[in-house]
Copies of this chain bind each other. A is one copy, B any other.
Amino acid sequence: MEQIYNFSAGPAVLPKAVLQLARDEMLDWHGSGMSVMEMSHRGSEFMSIVEQLESDLRELLDIPQNYKVLFLQGGASSQFAMVPMNLLQSKNKADYISTGEWSKKAITEAQRFCTVNIAASSEEANFTYAPTQDKWQLDPAAAYVHYTSNETIGGVEFNWTPQMLNAHIPLVADMSSNLLSRPLNVTQFGLIYAGAQKNLGPAGLTLVIVREDLLATPITNTPTLFNYQAHAKNNSMLNTPPTYPMYITGLVMAWLKETGGLAGIEKINITKATLLYDLLDGTDFYHCPVAKSDRSRMNIPFTLKNPALDNTFLEQAKANGLIQLKGHRSVGGMRASLYNAMPIEGVAKLVAFMKEFASKHA
């Protein structure tokens, strides 16, 4: 097998050590004679996997006891509806910060349930920066404030956490593409959600971390499976959870702890992102459109000065084992996603390839 480096935005590269362990345990988990896929979700074997997963997540993120950790299905796109359905309560307004394709999707879905106040937006600059908080025009009647901490498509990341001046209005964050990539103070949030298929594990699992006092009866016509309170009461076993994705996520959490936890992985992530941004900024052959202060460590979009070379670039990259570098269909160009599991060697190889490509085609 050729060594390839997979820069996919998600589902994305997983730690090789995790895949090797999953392979070795596929037919017989810990002498049980069963694959994890074959285990009853209420049996002692799988319960021990869930408990370890939750315990590791709580340790890595230092999640306080008054927060529930929920293991759900449906991806961040389901959360776009679950958040308003559950958090609106008697209010009919919510604040949203608009910083790219994913916050726009969250806003469009929320508008089906309430009035959305766009408290700040970078749309006028084609979503190339994150509006600083002094620009936010929050509505005091809002049920919550929602933002996307990292825009997977646009490559805009909040390198700071918004401060909520009104303690009664919870801060909600879609952290699908940067959760667990850096230390985080969970107590600053009312609710955090993330699809698993970036830094957590395989597609099919959605993580929700929610402060207990926010659990309440949702609006009319909310399906029971969209009710946070019902999931919390049943410890995420309201129905059969996505057991195998949870198991793999558990292996990824153990790997992350061995790698030095969030402080350790942040150092590595800074090293990787710096390698690529330094190249992009040191040449006019490549260009990154995002404001320097708000650049994502996870998803790095860039363009070639001469877009006629795009396909040649992608083909030669692939021939060098550097795959999934095509930009999202909505923006074009290139994008390199450097999630936790992308080794430094992969980024070094990409940078070396890009330098050579630039020198050949300058």
Which A residues lie at the B interface, using CB under 8 A?
Answer: 1-4, 6, 8-14, 16, 19-20, 22-23, 26-28, 31-35, 37-41, 43, 73-78, 80-82, 85, 109, 112-113, 195, 197, 201-205, 219-226, 238-245, 248, 321, 323-324
Q: List 24 A-B contacts (CB under 8 A).
A: A4-B34, A6-B33, A10-B240, A13-B38, A19-B35, A20-B27, A22-B26, A26-B26, A33-B321, A33-B323, A37-B203, A73-B74, A74-B74, A75-B225, A77-B224, A77-B239, A81-B225, A109-B223, A197-B240, A197-B243, A202-B242, A202-B244, A203-B244, A204-B205
Contact of A245 among B2, B41, B204 (CB under 8 A): B204
Is B43's CB under 8 angstroms from A240's CB? Answer: no
In the complex, chain B residues whose CB is within 8 Å of the CB of A28: 1
In the complex, chain B residues whose CB is within 8 Å of the CB of A1: 27-28, 31, 33
Q: Which residue of B lies closest to A81 (CB)?
A: B223
Distance A74 CA – B32 CA, assembled complex (angstroms): 27
In the complex, chain B residues whose CB is within 8 Å of the CB of A201: 37
Is A223's CB under 8 angstroms from B78's CB? Answer: yes
- A74-B225, A221-B221 known; A27 vs B23 contact (CB < 8 Å): yes
Contact of A223 among B8, B20, B226 (CB under 8 A): B226
Is A244's CB under 8 angstroms from B41's CB? Answer: no
- Write the nearest CB–CB distance from A194 to chain B, whole angstroms: 12
Is A221's CB under 8 angstroms from B220's CB? Answer: yes
Closest 3 pairs (CB-CB, A-B): A204-B242, A81-B223, A4-B33
Distance A199 CA – B80 CA, assembled complex (angstroms): 32
Is A225's CB under 8 angstroms from B34's CB? Answer: no
In the complex, chain B residues whose CB is within 8 Å of the CB of A27: 1, 16, 19-20, 23
Contact of A37 among B76, B202, B239, B240 (CB under 8 A): B202
Q: Which residue of B lies closest to A239 (CB)?
A: B77
- Write the nearest CB–CB distance from A243 to chain B, whole angstroms: 5
In the complex, chain B residues whose CB is within 8 Å of the CB of A113: 221
In the complex, chain B residues whose CB is within 8 Å of the CB of A244: 202-204, 244-245, 248
Is B241's CB under 8 angstroms from A203's CB? Answer: yes
Contact of A11 among B78, B205, B240, B323 (CB under 8 A): B240
- Write the nearest CB–CB distance from A74 to chain B, whole angstroms: 5
In the complex, chain B residues whose CB is within 8 Å of the CB of A75: 73, 225, 239-240
- Write the nearest CB–CB distance from A186 to chain B, whole angstroms: 25
Is A238's CB under 8 angstroms from B77's CB? Answer: yes
Distance A74 CA – B81 CA, assembled complex (angstroms): 14
Is A203's CB under 8 angstroms from B33's CB? Answer: no
Q: Which residue of B lies closest to A24 (CB)?
A: B23
In the complex, chain B residues whose CB is within 8 Å of the CB of A37: 11, 14, 19, 201-203, 248
In the complex, chain B residues whose CB is within 8 Å of the CB of A6: 33-34, 38
Contact of A85 among B220, B223, B245 (CB under 8 A): B223
